[in-house]
Structure 1
């Protein structure tokens, strides 16, 4: 881990977001590096080191830290081995999204595969002009060298072709928080039938400067921002909103023929098992044109291959709009 100097702060937050900045370091995100007593001086940010081992594991050094060009973000894409179980809203202009994501130690069976749970903010067509902003947790042995769930960010402005990357592996996302390592392991994590742990994320567009900010935790700690200049559809000030917001899980199946991968999504359990067993998203919200957080009305649920990974939702109570999702991958319903 190394320390770099921090950048600026946003001009405005969504009007009904009740989270407040908190100086309590434990409120931001419990991560393994903090338990070792490491810290960065004021005015700097912690950055996960890229090691020789990281580069050797990569399928391509030139594309290290990037998703493959075949990656899919749209809810209507089921090809290239990327399988989804997601809730989404579309048909309007959205200026952000917020949800709490249940964190699990998902089992990934191959270094070339990954499992993640995230929020996508999407604009543009499914062609090469697709813009996305993404954040959540992922298990990626190729990228990190282990099977720990890790906090991550991602972006692209050309459908994963030549722009964008995970975390801070390329110029793009500007980190401002000195207490969070993007790419560091999250601890604790949820246990089957035991204690549940989730992280609260919000992505929103600053209406004054046009940058897209990332907020983390119940205290509303600012992690950093994606500059407006990175994007085409998402980049313009004012009207440069998203035409789709998506929440949920994605897993990679590198076995297009023959038996399906046993890589898990979420907890590795189907939604019907419910709380404490299946992974969830709760308090699913979007940011409207007037910079207010509102419930994600009309949330549609879609599973590419429900026998492998499924999704089921509900509404009401302290959880607002919510859903359970995930599955084990290969099983009797997904041979």
Structure 2
């Protein structure tokens, strides 16, 4: 009888294993199907495809077929090919393309080495299956985690533990803002864990810091989780509900309408700055067109990239109430330990030019559509012994600041 019992138990155990394995196979095939559907939605048919030296595929997609137009409110949207106004007056293409008297070291995107997209198309970094599988879920792919925003008004140490995000920023608040500009030093910070990132950006913020926060963001980032490598990449982000259900990085959801055929969101920037060596920086301007109400983005002096339609937002449909510039990292180390993920160059502000990273010529756009120096610039960092920020101003750089740090060190365990 004992033997029969053992056989029966073994049979039941095996049956359980088989049904578990069937369930696992079913779940895996369901996930595969979901991923394939998502890739089909994101990767639009290309007129031409270019393989970048870093392994990216850049698809040249007809402008009218870009992901933005999956949005139900954009079905009949007529693409605006240029803003009505540029800060400081009527939009004038010649004025935008004017080269500054002194050129800083020039930056390009790696894929440019192997070709360019034809007129009437826009370059889109192709999303691969492994990109989506690295995300916590298909739904969360291309989105920031909730509570990722620096909140200077409550410099509370608990904020660090609650969100895992740390910042070193300069900011202005207390007025109505219609845009912001900065020239941002570009580096390739080292990331400790693949699920961490390091970025340097400007934030255009509207609303409270609650569930209704509106944000437009642009800058550069290193994010192994999102891109599968440690390259420094140009990025944008938007949300109208504090990163919950709306918005995404780059063109990974419908929202931003791109009109430029030369710059690809999410593509690698090259070259980057080196310690005690050549320094490279990028300029980013985001402003609200006073006529149409859309938020436009310009990269460098030459490229008006496109716009976020005003209907995407509640508070930002009118103006921004706060502007922030600076760095952000994710610290995923448990039990109060600190990551060694670097911010900026990985060096503290006091080391200065060529060693520390910087933002220079930081400006805001006022109600008269003029670029002007920010008034009452504040700074904020959760743990200044891990990452810090120091502001200054002079004739050449206007308002500027050095920021960043190594993360884990003798004073930041």
The TM-score, its normalising length taken from structure 2, stands at: 0.77
SS of 2:130 mapped into structure 1: helix
SS of 2:396 mapped into structure 1: helix
Matched, 1:223 2:305: yes
Spell out the pairing of 1:235-314 with structure 2 (5 A cutoff): 235=317, 240-314=318-392
Shift of 1:21: 3.6
Which residue among 400, 406, 409 is the counterpart of 1:328?
A: 406
After alignment, is 69-78 or 274-283 more displaced?
A: 69-78
Which residue of the partner structure matches residue 14 of structure 1? 87
Preserved contact between residue 269 and residue 326 of structure 1 (Cα < 8 Å):
yes
How far, CA to CA, are the matches of 1:23 and 1:270 in structure 2?
Answer: 34
CA deviations on 1:54-93 (whole Å, 9 max, x unpaired) are 0111122111000012322433463411101000000010
Which residue of the partner structure matches residue 62 of structure 2? 5
Cα 1:124–1:256 shift into 2, 3 Å: farther
Shift of 1:29: 5.1
Matched, 1:146 2:209: no
Spell out the pairing of 1:1-335 with structure 2 (5 A cutoff): 1-6=58-63, 7-8=79-80, 9-15=82-88, 20-22=95-97, 30-35=108-113, 37-76=114-153, 78-79=159-160, 80-219=163-302, 221-235=303-317, 240-335=318-413
Shift of 1:259: 2.0
Shift of 1:301: 1.2
How far, CA to CA, are the matches of 1:224 and 1:257 in structure 2?
Answer: 43
Query: Cα RMSD between the aligned structures?
Result: 1.9
Preserved contact between residue 98 and residue 301 of structure 2 (Cα < 8 Å):
no
Q: Please list every run of 5 or more consecutive structure 2 residues that lacks an aligned counterpart in the other structure.
A: 1-57, 64-78
Preserved contact between residue 81 and residue 256 of structure 1 (Cα < 8 Å):
no
- Higher helix fraction (1 or 2): 2
How far, CA to CA, are the matches of 1:190 and 1:178 in structure 2?
Answer: 26
SS of 2:249 mapped into structure 1: coil
Shift of 1:313: 1.0
Shift of 1:255: 1.6
CA deviations on 1:146-176 (whole Å, 9 max, x unpaired) are 1111000000000001000000000001111
How far, CA to CA, are the matches of 1:191 and 1:210 in structure 2?
Answer: 40
How far, CA to CA, are the matches of 1:203 and 1:103 in structure 2?
Answer: 18
Cα 1:286–1:23 shift into 2, 3 Å: closer
Preserved contact between residue 28 and residue 216 of structure 1 (Cα < 8 Å):
no
Preserved contact between residue 285 and residue 298 of structure 2 (Cα < 8 Å):
yes
SS of 2:248 mapped into structure 1: coil
Preserved contact between residue 97 and residue 285 of structure 1 (Cα < 8 Å):
yes
SS of 2:181 mapped into structure 1: strand
How far, CA to CA, are the matches of 1:225 and 1:256 in structure 2?
Answer: 39
The TM-score, its normalising length taken from structure 1, stands at: 0.94
Larger Rg over CA atoms? 2
Cα 1:76–1:141 shift into 2, 3 Å: farther
Q: Please list every run of 5 or more consecutive structure 1 residues that lacks an aligned counterpart in the other structure.
A: none
Following TM superposition, where does structure 1 have runs of at least 4 consecutive aligned residues deviating by more than 6 angstroms? 16-19
